[in-house]
Amino acid sequence: MLKLHRHLPVAMALWLLIALAIPAIAQDANTDQAKAMLNKGIAQYKALNFKAAKATLLQVDTDYLTEDNSSLLGEYLTKADTGIRKQSAALEAYRQAEQDLRTGALVKARYGFAFAALSEYIHSQTRADARAKVAEVDAKIELLAQQTPVQNIQPEPIPTPVTEPSPEPLAPANAPVATFEGITLAPIPEPVPEIAPADESLLGPITEAETTVVVVESPAAGSETESVDKLLETLARRRAEAGPEDFAPPVQAPAATSTNNSILVRLQENLRVARQVSDLEFENALTESRKAISDTIENLAQNSFDSASNNANIARNILQQNKRLYNSEEFSFKILQVEDQLTSVADKQQLWQAEKVNQRMDQIERSRRERIRREQQQLARKIDTLHERAQTLLSERNNEEALQIIRQILTLDTTNRWAAEKLDLVRQLVLLEEERTLDSTQGI
């Protein structure tokens, strides 16, 4: 019994060390598991599996992460949301481009494939397929351009002026029938005018405004491009091959001057219509871009910024295609409008992303505080249970078992005043009981 009394403090100390080590081991295991889940989510994000990455990162227990890893978790959760949106937008652009290619909308198809090919949020094989589709569409456009005939604008027939006056005035077509001494006289028919052939070499000098066409929509050809620009290039080439005197309309040929004016009037009308169409499509795309991000920051989503950027790029694409419809100042001004809109989109998206990060960090902090609150409640309930058990044992004079319960309470809560006050008292009672037992044994 004396040996047991001597080894009792050592056994109690060993038990206390084991009791303290178990929570530490569990803490390390939880920390390792949280870090492993974080690394797994990051690896899935880098593999472009954004949805799986988000699902994994949401399972990470933030209570067992360091401050740096908690920041890293919030960063990759935001990145995963962005990746999901942008990957969806790129794949949707690819799908729509395939449909446009089947329906013959080559310009729209090329833009969609190019958008997908440049996206870093889809897999390399899909980007390679998109680049191949861009080359395929370019080949179709080139072949179509070679097969599209140049539209020749035919001049209206100009009647040859009558050089000799008629001895009698011409009767109108609906003039009443005349009679002379009872004989009916038929009306004198108008002379049939001779058609003067168009002489394209008599076209006047081509001004800069008349040579600023790249693409003009043809109502008869649907979505295919018309070749008014080719006509202008032909006129410019003929002007370069001929001398300046060839472009001065001769005085003795007023019919040729009328032909020249007719062609120029039609050409200028085509230019005006093409410019109006270009301006309308440009403004519509830019308006849609502005409308996409016109809401407040908290009501926007990633697809809002994708739509705004996409429409701004469409506006720039329209402008580039019709560049020669504008002079340098007009073109620069419109390009500046597009750049300003893209800058506005980027700035607002940056604010939106910062707000999302703040919201996510607030959510993580609220979750951490809620978890701590639950654990504290569980701990308090457990301590209350141990407290009641220790008091019951003390009332039954089971001081040795009560001492063990008191030590458990102090292990869970080192600031527990009741356990700290009872510890020495109950320990003294246990020692007194052991001495009495020892004395009783020795007396026998």
Residue 6 in this model has a pLDDT that exceeds 70 = no
Q: Residue 183: beta bridge partners?
A: 180
Query: Where residue 47 falls among pLDDT bands split at 50, 70, 90?
Result: very high
Tell the residue number behind the tokens 């191949």, with chain if given.
132
Helix (H) or strand (E) holding 183: strand 183-185
Lowest-pLDDT choice from 98-107, 139-148, 320-329, 392-401: 139-148
User: Can you tell me the distance from the alpha carbon of 432 to that of 399, in angstroms, rounded to the nearest whole number?
Assistant: 10
Q: What is the pLDDT of residue 137?
A: 86
Lowest-pLDDT choice from 4-8, 204-208, 228-232, 376-380: 204-208
Residue 52 in this model has a pLDDT that exceeds 80 = yes
Phi-psi region of 104 (alpha: psi -120 to 50; beta: other; left: phi over 0): left
Q: What is the CA radius of gyration of the chain?
A: 46
**Higher per-residue confidence, 170 vs 240:** 240
| Burial profile 60-81: b = 16 or more Cβ within 10 angstroms, e = fewer | bebbbbeeebbebbbebbbbbb
User: Can you tell me the distance from the alpha carbon of 343 to that of 101, in angstroms, rounded to the nearest whole number?
Assistant: 31
| Total residues found in the chain within this entry | 444
CATH number attached to the domain at 32-147: 1.25.40
User: Can you tell me the distance from the alpha carbon of 30 to that of 53, in angstroms, rounded to the nearest whole number?
Assistant: 20
User: Can you tell me the distance from the alpha carbon of 386 to that of 406, in angstroms, rounded to the nearest whole number?
Assistant: 8
Strands 216-217 and 178-180: unpaired
State mean pLDDT over 290-300.
87
Q: What is the pLDDT of residue 144?
A: 76
Q: What is the pLDDT of residue 222?
A: 38
Q: What is the pLDDT of residue 226?
A: 41
pLDDT 10s digits, 296-326:
887 888 898 999 999 999 999 999 989 888 9
pLDDT-above-70 percentage for the chain? 67
Under 8 Å CB-to-CB from 274, ≥6 apart: which residues?
213, 215, 216, 217, 228, 322, 325
**315 touches 286 (CB < 8 A):** yes
Question: To the nearest whole number, what is the mean pLDDT of the chain?
Answer: 74
Lowest-pLDDT choice from 60-74, 166-180, 251-265, 404-418: 166-180
pLDDT-above-90 percentage for the chain? 24
pLDDT 10s digits, 154-182:
444 444 444 444 444 444 444 444 443 44
State mean pLDDT over 94-100.
89
Query: Where residue 249 falls among pLDDT bands split at 50, 70, 90?
Result: very low
User: Token pair of 64, please?
Assistant: 């067992």
State mean pLDDT over 201-215.
38
User: Can you tell me the distance from the alpha carbon of 157 to that of 196, in angstroms, rounded to the nearest whole number?
Assistant: 7
User: Can you tell me the distance from the alpha carbon of 46 to that of 76, in angstroms, rounded to the nearest whole number?
Assistant: 10
Residue 13 in this model has a pLDDT that exceeds 60 = no
Residue 287 in this model has a pLDDT that exceeds 90 = yes
DSSP-assigned letter for residue 180: E
Report phi then psi at 192, rounded to 5.
-75, 120
Q: What is the pLDDT of residue 405?
A: 92
User: Can you tell me the distance from the alpha carbon of 262 to that of 249, in angstroms, rounded to the nearest whole number?
Assistant: 14
User: Can you tell me the distance from the alpha carbon of 227 to that of 152, in angstroms, rounded to the nearest whole number?
Assistant: 9
Q: What is the pLDDT of residue 64?
A: 82
